[in-house]
Amino acid sequence: MARLGLERSVVDAEVLKRTAGRFRQAGVVLPTVAQLKNPATIPAPIQEKLRTVEPDASDSLNLFRVHWFNDASRKGLADIPAFVELPEQLTGVKARIVLLLGNRFPMIRAHKVLAAYGCLIPRIASGKFDPTRHRAIWPSTGNYCRGGVAISRILGCRGVAVLPENMSSERFEWLGKWVADPADIIRTPGSESNVKEIYDACAVLGRDPANIIFNQFCEFGNYLIHRTCTGTAMERVFDHLAKGRANTRLAAYVSASGSAGTLAAGDHLKQKFGARIVAVEALECPTLLYNGFGEHNIQGIGDKHVPFIHNVMNTDLVAAVSDRATDTLFVLFNTAEGRKYLIERCGLGADLIGMFSNFGLSSLCNMLAAIKTAKYYDLGQDDVVMSVATDGADLYASEIRRATARYFGNRLDAVSAGEAWGRSMLATTTDHMLELNHYDRKRIFNLGYFTWVEQQGVPLDEFNVRADQSFWDGLLELVPAWDTMIADVNAQSGAAVALNA
Ligand SMILES: Cc1ncc(COP(=O)(O)O)c(C=O)c1O
């Protein structure tokens, strides 16, 4: 399965030599997965140099910030990854709902830059991807391609973003500033749910041998980097929350699925703490839940397919959240009128209100799904439900106008704010949830056949092997192998020595 990002040794020494030459010239050092998992181990000279590097600058040292431990300034390291614990006053449940903050990541202010790096590692460190000759193609619903384009640029190679034309204008503005050529932004038809159209565009691009497609939906680097780095970051936060509270349990890990990379952290948390794994999707396109299809606006969670790297047989529950709820809460949390209502009528504090700027649309989806999970399992004050705030509100400012027109007749007032709060928050129930038994898991697993075997030509045995947990656990062996390969590239380039690292 080497074509799916499972290289474990050098495949082309000549390419690697050119890569090392490029890195020497540009002073690029690649971080290991172990360093991103535990950034305190990043060599002191690099940490020192990072102090003068802006977190959103196009500087290769920012690769050493592609982890969950960036502090509030996003320049230094925190002991515990940044997180928000939502109070009962907001959630209506006793369980502790905790979201890690993705907007601390560098360059794109979203955690998907981690997935992009995870997919790049096996290709670049094995000599399969040549940064001096190849173009890196990043198919995505918006944030992954930004992560890929950012990394491509700091490595000095050409990065091409492939994304649906209807994603938020903020994403396109960002891309416009980072790509080498406007032609490197390829707009595919449709929106969030049109992943098939993205695959089709990649099939055409893939015919040119100068293009290397980093398909996050089937690259195991995406799975492994999240299982290793996001899983460990969650563990660190959970240990912190459980300190001095012996009865604390990690009841569930909740993640809305786009490529299903982030869900991989659940495999770590289930192995370590027995946490249930909850996959979330949009109610308007309930593919896992009902074999359904449709359009929605929870940007980042693409659908109408089961990603190849989704460990379906280890998933415990599927929950659907309506984009009407995420859109209307987004307006409520991010407008003066909405905030006035939340303070005056719901008694929410200014700190909590300020924190909402960390929540983009899919973060609100994760929050609502975590509440549903807590209600479904009757969780109490000793239970923790963990999830991610994948990106912040700043990436969706233009959505406020759109949603205000669509749901509030262009004008939000106290009455309509109250309606939205009642409908989207207070009325959160356990509807549209399915606790998976073996047959449910098999049904979802089998649904993936049509995308991967029929459409994408994956051999049947490679498809079927993923039904076994030992396959997924076995992948973990790749991580130290990749780290050795990364260390070899760094040694060959000599760039680390130049940094005294
Ligand atoms: C904003 C946002 N939320 C959620 C996701 C889903 O994450 P994953 O692809 O790891 O399933 C993405 C993925 O691009 C995203 O950009």
Mean per-residue pLDDT, 185-196: 83
Is the C-beta atom of 144 inside 6 A of ligand 1? Answer: yes
pLDDT at 197: 87
Which amino acid is located at 494 in the chain? G
Whether the per-residue pLDDT at 1 is higher than 60: the answer is: no
Whether the per-residue pLDDT at 479 is higher than 70: the answer is: yes
> Among 40-49, 191-200, 318-327, whose mean pLDDT is lowest?
191-200
Instruction: Yes or no: say if 75 and 235 are a contact pair by the CB < 8 Å rule.
Output: no
Q: Tens digits of per-residue pLDDT, 159-183?
A: 999 998 988 888 899 999 999 899 9
Is the C-beta atom of 193 inside 6 A of ligand 1? Answer: no
| Closest ligand 1 atom, residue 222 Cα | 10
Strands 383-389 and 96-101: parallel
CA of 325 to the centre of ligand 1 (A): 18
pLDDT at 166: 85
Which residue has its alpha carbon closest to ligand 1 atom 15? 300
Q: Hunting for tokens 């936060």 — which residue is that?
A: 237
Q: Tens digits of per-residue pLDDT, 107-147?
A: 999 999 999 999 999 999 999 999 999 999 999 988 999 99
Distance from C-alpha of 390 to C-alpha of 139, rounded to nearest angstrom: 18
Which residue has its alpha carbon closest to ligand 1 atom 13? 300
CA 368 → CA 294, 361, 388, distances in Å?
A: 20, 11, 12
Strands 96-101 and 83-86: antiparallel
Whether the per-residue pLDDT at 424 is higher than 60: the answer is: yes
Work out the pLDDT band at 351, boundaries 50, 70, 90.
very high
CA of 174 to the centre of ligand 1 (A): 17
Which amino acid is located at 309 in the chain? I
| Closest ligand 1 atom, residue 216 Cα | 9
Whether the per-residue pLDDT at 85 is higher than 60: the answer is: yes
Whole-model pTM: value is 0.97
Which residue has its alpha carbon closest to ligand 1 atom 12? 300
Which of 301, 367, 396 to mutate for ligand 1's pocket (most ligand atoms within 8 Å of CB)? 301
Is the C-beta atom of 102 inside 6 A of ligand 1? Answer: no
Closest CA to 278 of 437, 141, 385: 385
Q: What is the 3 state secondary structure string of 71-140?
A: CCCCCCECCCCCEEEECHHHHCCCCEEEEEEHHHCCCCCECHHHHHHHHHHHHHHHCCCCCCCCEEEEEC
Burial class (CB in 10 A: 0-12, 13-18, 19+), 411: exposed
Distance from C-alpha of 161 to C-alpha of 209, rounded to nearest angstrom: 17
Whether the per-residue pLDDT at 485 is higher than 90: the answer is: yes
Q: What is the mean pLDDT of the chain?
A: 95
pLDDT at 500: 74
CA of 6 to the centre of ligand 1 (A): 22
Helical segments of 377-413, H only: 397-408
Which of 105, 363, 390, 394 to mutate for ligand 1's pocket (most ligand atoms within 8 Å of CB)? 390
Is the C-beta atom of 360 inside 6 A of ligand 1? Answer: yes
Whether the per-residue pLDDT at 103 is higher than 80: the answer is: yes
CA of 176 to the centre of ligand 1 (A): 21
Q: Hunting for tokens 């993640």 — which residue is that?
A: 255
Strands 317-321 and 433-435: antiparallel
Q: Does an H or E element contain 279, and which? A: strand 276-282
pLDDT at 2: 52
Strand partners, 384: 96, 250
Work out the pLDDT band at 3, boundaries 50, 70, 90.
low
Closest CA to 39 of 84, 71, 73: 71
Whether the per-residue pLDDT at 192 is higher than 80: the answer is: no
Q: Tens digits of per-residue pLDDT, 107-117?
A: 999 999 999 99
Distance from C-alpha of 192 to C-alpha of 259, rounded to nearest angstrom: 12
Work out the pLDDT band at 378, boundaries 50, 70, 90.
very high
More confident residue, 305 or 498: 305
3-state secondary structure of 18: helix
Instruction: Yes or no: say if 342 and 334 are a contact pair by the CB < 8 Å rule.
Output: no
Which residue has its alpha carbon closest to ligand 1 atom 6? 258
CA 37, 270, 219, 216 torsion-angle sign: negative
Work out the pLDDT band at 4, boundaries 50, 70, 90.
low
Residue 391 carries which DSSP code?
A: B
Mean per-residue pLDDT, 190-212: 87
CA of 301 to the centre of ligand 1 (A): 5
